[in-house]
Amino acid sequence: MTNTETRELFHLLNQRVRLITKEVNNVLSDHGLYHSQWSIIFCLDQFGPMTQTAIWKYLNVEAPTVTRTLSRMEKNGWIIRKQGEDKRERVIEMTDAAKQKFAAVNEAVDQVEKEMAHPLSSEEIQHLQLLLRKLGATEGE
Amino acid sequence: MTNTETRELFHLLNQRVRLITKEVNNVLSDHGLYHSQWSIIFCLDQFGPMTQTAIWKYLNVEAPTVTRTLSRMEKNGWIIRKQGEDKRERVIEMTDAAKQKFAAVNEAVDQVEKEMAHPLSSEEIQHLQLLLRKLGATEGE
DNA sequence: CTCAATTATTTACCTAGCTAAGTAATTCAT
DNA sequence: ATGAATTACTTAGCTAGGTAAATAATTGAG
A9 pLDDT higher than 60: yes
Kindly determine whether residue A20 and residue B135, on different chains, have CB atoms separated by under 8 Å: yes
Distance from CA of B87 to the nearest CA of A (A): 30
> Using one digit for the tens of pLDDT, what is the confidence trace for B79-134?
999 999 999 999 999 999 999 999 999 999 999 999 999 999 999 999 999 999 99
Q: In angstroms, what is the C-alpha Rg of chain A?
A: 18
B136 pLDDT higher than 90: no
Query: Which residue of chain B comes nearest to A23, CA vs CA?
Result: B136
% of chain B surpassing 90 pLDDT: 92
Q: What is the pLDDT of residue B3?
A: 83
Q: How far apart are CA B35 and CA B27, in angstroms?
A: 9
CATH 1.10.10.10 matches A33-106 = yes
SS3 of A16, please? helix
% of chain A surpassing 70 pLDDT: 96
SS3 of B76, please? coil
Of the listed ranges A2-6, A43-47, A100-104, B37-41, the one predicted with least confidence: A2-6
Kindly determine whether residue B129 and residue A5, on different chains, have CB atoms separated by under 8 Å: yes
Q: What is the pLDDT of residue B138?
A: 63
Backbone angles phi, psi at B135, to 5 degrees: -70, 125
B17 CA vs C4 C1’ separation (Å): 39
What lies within 8 Å, CB to CB, of B75 at 6+ separation is none
Residue B18: CB less than 7 A from any atom in strand D = yes
Q: What is the pLDDT of residue A2?
A: 77
A21 CA vs C21 C1’ separation (Å): 24
Mean pLDDT of A111-129: 95
B139 pLDDT higher than 60: no
What mean pLDDT value characterizes chain B? 94
Residue A64: CB less than 7 A from any atom in strand C = yes
Backbone angles phi, psi at A118, to 5 degrees: -55, -40
Query: Nearest nt to A25, CA vs C1'?
Result: C18
More confident residue, B4 or A71: A71
Q: How far apart are CA A28 and CA A38, in angstroms?
A: 8
A51 CA vs D23 C1’ separation (Å): 19
B140 pLDDT higher than 70: no
Q: How far apart are CA B40 and CA A101, in angstroms?
A: 42
Q: How far apart are CA B110 and CA A54, in angstroms?
A: 34
Which residues of chain A lie closer than 8 angstroms to B124, CB-CB? 131, 134
Q: Please, what is the angle between helix B96-117 and helix B35-47, to 10°?
A: 110
SS3 of B50, please? strand
> Using one digit for the tens of pLDDT, what is the confidence trace for A63-112?
999 999 999 999 999 999 999 999 999 999 999 999 999 999 999 999 99
Nearest of A75, A110, A80 to residue A95 by alpha carbon: A80
A1 pLDDT higher than 70: no
Q: How far apart are CA B21 and CA B36, in angstroms?
A: 9
Query: Nearest nt to B87, CA vs C1'?
Result: C25
Domain ranges of chain A: 1-30, 33-106
Kindly determine whether residue A117 and residue B133, on different chains, have CB atoms separated by under 8 Å: no
B1 pLDDT higher than 70: no
